[in-house]
Structure 1
Amino acid sequence: MRDDIEKKNKLDWVSFSISGGILILFVLASVWDDQLTGQWINESFNFSVKYFGAYWQVLLLATFVIGLILAFSKYGKVRLGNLVKPENDNYRWISMILCTLLAGGGVFWAAAEPMYHFITTPPLFSGMEAGSMEAAFPAMAQSFLHWGFLAWAILGTLATIVLMYAHYNKGYPLKPRTLLYPLFGEKIFHKSVVGTIADIVSIVSVAAGTIGPVGFLGLQVGYGLQEIFGIPDTYFTQSLIIIFLVVIASISAATGIERGIQLLSRINVGFVVVLMVAMLILGPTLFIIDLFIGSQGFYIQNFLTMSLYRVDQGWLGYWTIFFWGWFIGYGPMMAIFISRISRGRTIRELIIAVSIIAPIVSNFWFTVVGGSGIFYEMQNGGSVSTALNENGMPAAVMAIMNQIPLGFLLSVGFLIVTIIFVATTTDSMSYTVAVTLSGTDEPNRFIRVFWALMFGVVAVCLLAIGEGSITALQNFIVVTAVPVSLLLLPALWDAPKIAAKMAREQKIVEKK
């Protein structure tokens, strides 16, 4: 039966055609009337935020809490992936995990988001004076919330446990629809409308979430090259940047996880460490350390209140719910990717790496970059915020670098890190789309490269229409997150059941 399922799922032409068709339709609609398309996306975005925002906040919190309970219970010893020893060493494994969420925008958001919250205090802490030292801690803590424990947990913890058991222990395809296997049984794999919809919305969602950063990369690096080297920031320059990125991602995709993705991830983590250490030494060292410790404490102290805040709906939609929708949209595909690289790991190792280690590392990265910006803004009001408000996120990064010794070299380093980060995400997400369409964790090389190229081509086309089209597509991931969030819900109870069953099979607990 399972062999029959795998044969039938060698290439899912229905999901391939519909998901690819939706992306092409989006481009055509933007060409026809980009304002009308943007209006439709915004209305759908507002609907999603209004009626699903509270559910998403509870979903992310529940995923994080249940994951921690599993990790530190007797079930934490359960080994996943039907292997007794991990395939990848700790550095390679954590490097590949880290280069996922941060690549989605963490480089430029690390400079921009803390500054936004510093100059305009989040509504939950509106009693604090914006721009003061007192406001620095909630500014960083709010950024930690958006890119920290909850965001990482939804990307690859409970859903990963379900997928790894179904695929490596039961032999079912590694697809988003497999998350529904415990609920629907094997019929989810046999010409199932629900299963097909689950795969399609997951592909479209992750495509929107990947194409957006690819398009913005062209804008951001184009601005950076103009500021550093005087190269004109034109559509031609932006397109060349995206083409260069896609070539790197395509080569990496063609060589597979064992070579390309591992190599890019290790290189990028090395670059990030060098940048962090350099900024820490050359920048306001003691201020950054104090801000990280204090903000981490502030974040933990106000964790539940910040996670479940529901008063200012407009602010929530613009910030927290937008990020939650973005990360939920990535959820199934990230779970597939993390499943593929985590064979032989225990549940405890998985949860600690994804839900604790990765968030703390990203929080420190945000503090080094964003904290430096806050320090220089306090020293000289407007030195960072003016550039941010007038020219956006890449300007904020450059404004910070200009105030640090050896800022020129650090700016170049940031551009390199950004390109490799987004290339890694493009590579890994094209891999997961190929896995979804084939049902195997060793998908056809042509399909992997095709989707990497598809991401780049769509981004270049949307840039030709206008920056607003990229923004509309970025918002579209929040719309697609509505059905995807329903797909992730069953993992809340299925993962603990599977953990208990595997604990009995592995004789970690006694059979009843």
Structure 2
Amino acid sequence: MKNLTVTYKISVVMALIFVIWGALFPEQLGEMMGIAQAFFLSAFGWFYNLAATFFLIFSLILIFSKYGKIRLGKDTDKPDFNRATWFAMLFSAGMGIGLLFYGVSEPVSHYAAPPTGEGSTEASALLALRYTYLHWGFHAWAIYAVVALALAYFKFRKGAPGLMSATLHPIFGDRVNGPLGYTVDIIAVFATIFGVCASLGLGAQQINAGLGYLIGVPVNFTVQLIIISIITVLFILSASTGIKRGIKYLSNTNMILATLLLIAMVILGPTLFLLNLFTHTLGEYIQNLPQMGLRIFPFDEQRAAWTQGWTIFYWAWWISWSPFVGMFIARVSRGRTIREFTIAVLVVPTLVCAFWFCVFGGTGINLDLLHGIDVAGQSLETGLFFVYEHLPLGGFLSVVTVLLITTFFITSADSATFVLGMQTTEGDMDPSNFIKISWGLILSASAIVLMASGGLQALQTAIIVSAFPLTIVLLIMSIGILKVFKTEVKGFKRTRKEG
């Protein structure tokens, strides 16, 4: 206990205060969350839109710049993991539970209630997939790429601690080793907690919905509390085995199950329709990317509310997840060049996510629009299982899905405990089991009190609020990255001339 860092002590005390507040006064917490959400969405939606677009442009510049040959590590370092395992880890930590929770429900929701035009039409079906690709595509992975790149560069090439504050050294110098640095790291800790809590809440809700579909388990908060409690024990056990055992094996298992589920959906669903739909909507997404990424509807309150509830919420979610996912991606990306790393993190997951949403969401839209089956009338957590009811082997697909959500749940929480451990132990790449277990318990407790105080809306609010100061940190980080890259390239040129 004597070796606990300042960041750990302050973060744990603040987190416990939040958990106790939520446990004792859930209604009060819910009201406060509602007020905060309305304020940040209306006052700073433009800020989140511009920031997300900036990170995408910044990533593209890095790919085509002279900095692309710089290695994330020493010049002789080789990658720790092969590409297949690396990709599996990216997906498992990055968006696992969300792909299943929103796979059917988000495209179908946009199809029924699009940001523009009339709902439940062919035009709204195409628009629905374009916006789903927007929310889970290049912008999201660009945010992850920038943060992971900075962390990996400073950790493996410069020997700095694996902390968010360390990436600001080019701007603030040694001041990051004092109160300024502690503040930045604590902001990252709470953004991580709330970002991961959202996924844990979604996972518990959908596991509950799946069990309700399969064996008639009631869908309510009590059951979800039991689910979170059981899985907390499982992911803490996984976390105690270390990154090269628990997370690695679970990530590979997730990738296999997710791939099999995707293939099954392509075969059992309207295959030709889905392939044509993906080709068409992918082109429209790329063509309309700048406009969709910046659209905010200043003259239309109803459409502005849609953008705030979906697009801006997603930008805040990905930003809040970025310390968690960024640190994890950085940890498994030693030895990659900046160009290889950025292309892989930006392009490959975007294409796979787009195809995933087209297959699952497109199947739901096909059933609703062309066959008159009311998929759009289902809740977010039950939409996927409702679609399964109308496909061959629906019961088997439901069992696989519940299993996959569970393993994604464990992997995300397992990865989060590792990252929170790093953040609060001055960048220790192997935090103690005590640190990881304490953060695992705090994560679960935070998810429970947020769900009790307002469900999904409370989870969303925590994300939006915590992401605001972190966005400012990430923008400063980007400036620092460019500054240090310029210095390094000048060093290369000077060395060549002297040689």
How does the TM-score come out when normalised to structure 1?
Answer: 0.90
Q: Which stretch shifts more, 313-322 or 404-413?
A: 313-322
Indicate yes or no: 2:232 matched with 1:241.
no
Equivalent residue for 1:380, pick from 359, 362, 371: 371
Structure 1 residue 218 corresponds to structure 2 residue 209 = no
- 1:511 positional shift: 6.3
Say which of 38, 41, 48 aligns to 1:49: 41
Q: Which residue of 2 aligns with 1:167?
A: 155
Residue 428 of structure 1 deviates from its aligned partner by: 0.8
Query: Residue 450 of structure 2 contacts residue 458 of structure 2 at CA under 8 Å; is this kept in 1?
Result: no
Aligned-residue offset at 1:473:
3.4
2:253 matches 1:267: yes
RMSD: 2.2
Partner of 1:3: none
Q: Displacement of 1:268 after TM fit?
A: 0.3
The answer on 1:406 being equivalent to 2:382 is no
The answer to whether the 8 Å contact 2:22/2:449 transfers is no
Structure 1 residue aligned with 2:288, among 267, 278, 302? 302
The residue type paired with residue 271 of structure 1 is L
1:103 aligns with 2:96: yes
1:397 corresponds to: 384
**Which residue number in structure 1 is paired with residue 300 of structure 2?**
none
**Aligned CA distance change for structure 1 residues 303 and 234 (closer, same or farther; 3 Å):** closer
- Tell me, in whole angstroms, the C-alpha distance in 2 between the residues paired with 1:420 and 1:110: 17
Q: CA deviation at 1:507?
A: 6.7
CA distance in 1 between counterparts of 2:110 and 2:494 reads 47
Q: In the superposition, relative to structure 1, how do residues 508 and 347 fare at CA in structure 2: closer, same or farther (>3 Å)?
A: farther
1:447 aligns with 2:438: no
Tell me if structure 2 keeps the 8 A contact 1:202–1:330: no
Given the alignment of the two structures, is residue 147 of structure 1 paired with residue 140 of structure 2, yes or no? no
Deviates more, 1:356-365 or 1:500-509: 500-509
Match of 1:33 in 2: 25
- Contact kept? 1:87, 1:341, Cα under 8 Å: yes
Q: Please, which moves more after superposition, 221-230 or 405-414? A: 221-230
The whole-number CA distance in structure 2 between the counterparts of 1:138 and 1:433 is: 38
CA contact 2:141–2:346 (8 Å) conserved in 1: yes
Moved more, 499-508 or 170-179: 499-508
> Is the contact between residue 279 and residue 368 of structure 1 (CA under 8 Å) also seen in structure 2?
yes
1:357 counterpart letter in structure 2: V
* 1:11-410 alignment, distance < 5 Å: 11-12=4-5, 14-82=6-74, 83-123=76-116, 126=117, 129-155=118-144, 157-189=145-177, 192-311=178-297, 312-387=303-378, 392-410=379-397
- Cα distance, 1:491 vs structure 2: 2.9
Change (3 A) 1:75 1:469: same
Read off the aligned partner of 1:162 and give its amino acid letter: A
| More displaced 10-residue stretch of structure 1: 472-481 or 269-278 | 472-481
SS of alignment partner, residue 407 of structure 2: helix
Tell me if the contact between 1:88 and 1:341 (Cα under 8 Å) persists in the aligned partners: yes
Displacement after TM superposition at 1:130 (Å) = 2.1
After superposition, give the CA deviation of every residue in 1:273-294 in whole Å (9 maximum; x if it has no partner): 0000001001110111111111
* 1:503–1:509 CA contact under 8 A, matched in 2: no
Change (3 A) 1:416 1:21: same
Residue 239 of structure 1: CA displacement?
A: 3.0
The DSSP-based 3-state class of the residue aligned with 1:345 is: coil
TM-score by length of 2: 0.93
1:280 is aligned with what amino acid?
V
Partner of 1:421: 408
With over 3 angstroms needed to count, the CA separation of the structure-2 counterparts of 1:490 and 1:460, relative to structure 1, is closer
In structure 2, do the counterparts of structure 1 residues 412 and 337 end up closer, same or farther at CA, with 3 Å as the change threshold?
same
Decide whether aligned partners of structure 1 residues 258 and 504 sit closer, same or farther in structure 2, where only a CA change above 3 A counts: farther
Query: What is the DSSP-based 3-state SS (H/G/I as helix, E as strand, rest coil) of the residue aligned with 1:173?
Result: coil
Structure 2 segments unaligned to the other structure (5+ residues): 298-302
Distance 1:441 1:225 in 2: 37
Offset at residue 180 of structure 1 (A): 1.5
Alpha-carbon distance, 1:410 to partner = 0.6
Distance 1:394 1:427, change over 3 A: same
Contact 1:10-1:437 at 8 Å conserved across structures: no
Q: Which runs of 5+ in 1 are unaligned?
A: 1-8
Provide the identity percentage: 33
Q: Is the 8 A contact 1:149 1:359 kept in 2?
A: yes
1:441-480 mapped onto 2 (5 Å cutoff): 441-461=429-449, 465=452, 468-469=454-455, 471-480=457-466
Q: Secondary structure at the match of 1:393?
A: coil
Q: 1:425 to 1:509 in 2, by over 3 A?
A: farther
- Counterparts in 2 of 1:294 and 1:163: CA distance versus 1, 3 Å: same
* 1:58–1:383 CA distance, 2 compared to 1 (3 A): same
